[in-house]
Amino acid sequence: MTARAVDQPDAFDLQQVPFSVSGSWLDLSPVVGLHTSAEDVHLVSHVNGMHAVLALQPARDGQPVDAAWHATPSVLTWSAPGGGVVRAVFDGPHRVRLRGRGLAMRLTEAAGELTPFTGAYLYLDPVDGAHVLTSYETGRRYRVRMTEGTLAATGVEALGRAERSLLLGDDRAEWEAELVESTSSAPAFGGGSFDDVVAARRAEFEAYADGLAPRTGAAPAARLAAYVLWASTVAPDGLVTRESVLMSMHWMDKVWSWDHCFNALALAPARPDLALDQWLAPFDHQDEAGALPDSVTHSEVLHNFVKPPVHGWAFAALRASLAREPTRAELELVNDRLARWTSYWLDHRRVPGHVLPHYQHGNDSGWDNSTAFDVDRVAESPDLAAFLVVQLDVLDALGRELGRPDERWARESRAVLDALLTTLWTPDGFVAVGAVSGRAGGTSSLLTLMPLLLGERLPDDVRTLLVDRVRQHLTPHGLATEPVTSPDYQPDGYWRGPIWAPSTALVVDGLRRCGEHALADEVSRRFLALCERSGFAENFDAVEGTGLRDRAYTWTAAVYLLLARDLAS
């Protein structure tokens, strides 16, 4: 079993955060599937899903050895007791360079069995002498060539179940190799020395991190947050039409149609083009009705659910912090896409005679299993109404700026706000109401506080109650999505208790719009401390403060950077 070590500046725990490079759909990590970690580091592809392609096992005298690994943004290192080291660096998005001294490295095909529809096939390419592993699952080839030293192969041209492995180098001489992902043709050898490639990756990350996370003691996890975003950025490929930040380089390797907004906001001050691409990415897949997909990834676009219309709110915030002013062409594109998305909710998601649109399932809200939907899944919800009012206001202002006013937006904004206050407000707070049954849900979910985003447009008594309710959700670590005193609270209940980054960011912004800056600052400080203690997990136990689920989630890293930036300003 390979141990791990984190003992260098900017080093990170490879069990929590994968090793990759901006632009690549590959990573090196022991995490090989949903909540699944292997004993060894694997080359993992995120093309056609998440697939472990090769296990990387340090070896001496041909046998696996225990070796500690440590990772920094530029290089991954294995070190064995008694000496011996192997280092790996990404030489661009498709090429991994490996160099060893005192240790060999065995690459073993992960699937193990070749059938007409699964597994990998290993052969020697007589054209350039590379050993090539073709993977059915990824639809790619992985070419291994020695640039110095020896290679021993097992399972060449083997069919069915067999060991397919390559032993790179030996423990008596220095060796160097490269592993290249390709489609069909043999790519050229990598140029430059191994050390030059390491230096180039270090410089690239430094430039990226210095823009997003200047070195400061006020936000000690900022550089790791920047790395999580940098390493989860993939080049356009397949159905991903723009350079995009996946939610994770673990199993949550998609762009969901509200998650991307928070990543865009984090990138805005330093990477404006990339930030605009993040905001626009799902809009490239709007359907004929104007609806956004639920999610997009390399080989799949899902339209079974949608996500909430946070995009008007996000674009206004994005524009306010963007390092450059959007061009007129960009504003016109945003206006068109946002108008179609808004019209979808108004034209296709309202019961005849109703003013408020509805969700068809909690998944549409992004708060999949929130207690707000325990009474009815098909529900008119206060968060949806609030997001839509903000989005309508943004559209109204944008249309006027572009000389393309549409009175519908202001008219609908007033109507939806009025219906929110008359239909979904109760003496105990906002509720979701069944779109068919008319039954009211509960008020305990943090989701019901999203109308805070309407700020001074809310009556004083409504604002006061919502702010008081925020305090009921606040634990030493941040905002629980269900109060810990609630009978429905679950420590690892997804949206029924744990702390989440997007809900935190939205409530903090809502508090500021309501003039509650001290409380907003306190919520922010607790969330920052939580991330500094427990990393950038998908969500967190609200009582214990431990990370849950996927441990390298980009919107968590993005919100950390957003809140740290706001507190510093």
Strand pairing of 95-101 and 160-161?
unpaired
- Residue 317, CA atoms < 13 Å, CB-side half-sphere: 23
pLDDT digits (tens, 9 = 90+) for 305-324: 999 999 999 999 999 999 99
In three-state form (DSSP H/G/I as H, E/B as E, the rest C), the secondary structure along 447-496 is HHHHHHHHHHHCCHHHHHHHHHHHHHHEECCEEECCCCCCCCCCCCCCCC
Q: What is the mean pLDDT of residues 8-34?
A: 94
DSSP-assigned states of every residue in 364-409: HHT-TT-GGGSS-SSEE-HHHHHHHHHHHHHHHHHHHHTT---HHH
Asked whether residue 287 carries a pLDDT value surpassing 90, the answer given is: yes
Asked whether residue 455 carries a pLDDT value surpassing 90, the answer given is: yes
Asked whether residue 189 carries a pLDDT value surpassing 80, the answer given is: no
pLDDT digits (tens, 9 = 90+) for 132-155: 999 999 999 999 999 999 999 999
Here the tokens at position 147 are: 């640039």
379 contacts 373 by C-beta, under 8 angstroms: yes
Residue 62 CA to residue 405 CA, distance in Å, equals 72
Q: How confident is the model at residue 215 (pLDDT cuts 50, 70, 90)?
A: low
How far does Cα 427 stand from its chain's mean position? 38
pTM: 0.96
How far does Cα 353 stand from its chain's mean position? 39
Locate tokens 């990590």: which residue?
A: 29
pLDDT of residue 1: 36
Asked whether residue 423 carries a pLDDT value surpassing 80, the answer given is: yes
pLDDT of residue 272: 97
The type of residue at 546 is T
Q: How confident is the model at residue 9 (pLDDT cuts 50, 70, 90)?
A: low
Asked whether residue 106 carries a pLDDT value surpassing 50, the answer given is: yes
pLDDT of residue 62: 87
Q: How confident is the model at residue 114 (pLDDT cuts 50, 70, 90)?
A: confident
Q: How confident is the model at residue 55 (pLDDT cuts 50, 70, 90)?
A: very high
pLDDT of residue 57: 96
Asked whether residue 53 carries a pLDDT value surpassing 70, the answer given is: yes
Q: How confident is the model at residue 8 (pLDDT cuts 50, 70, 90)?
A: low
Least Cα distance to 240 among 483, 47, 481 occurs for 47
Q: What is the mean pLDDT of residues 66-94?
A: 95
pLDDT of residue 246: 98
pLDDT of residue 3: 44
Alpha-carbon distances, residue 335 vs 266, 283, 312, 414 (angstroms): 22, 11, 10, 20
Q: How confident is the model at residue 112 (pLDDT cuts 50, 70, 90)?
A: confident
How far does Cα 432 stand from its chain's mean position? 28
As a whole number, the mean pLDDT across the chain is: 95
Strand pairing of 300-302 and 295-297?
antiparallel
pLDDT of residue 7: 47
Here the tokens at position 385 are: 């109404």
* Vertex 156 angle, CA 62 and 175, to 5°: 40
426 forms beta bridges with 429
143 forms beta bridges with 132, 180
More confident call, 360 vs 188: 360
Q: What is the mean pLDDT of residues 234-242?
A: 98
Asked whether residue 258 carries a pLDDT value surpassing 60, the answer given is: yes
- Provide φ and ψ at 73, rounded to 5°: -60, -20
pLDDT of residue 187: 77
pLDDT of residue 216: 63
pLDDT digits (tens, 9 = 90+) for 372-421: 999 999 999 999 999 999 999 999 999 999 999 999 999 999 999 999 99
Q: How confident is the model at residue 447 (pLDDT cuts 50, 70, 90)?
A: very high
pLDDT of residue 370: 98
304 contacts 319 by C-beta, under 8 angstroms: no
98 forms beta bridges with 88, 177
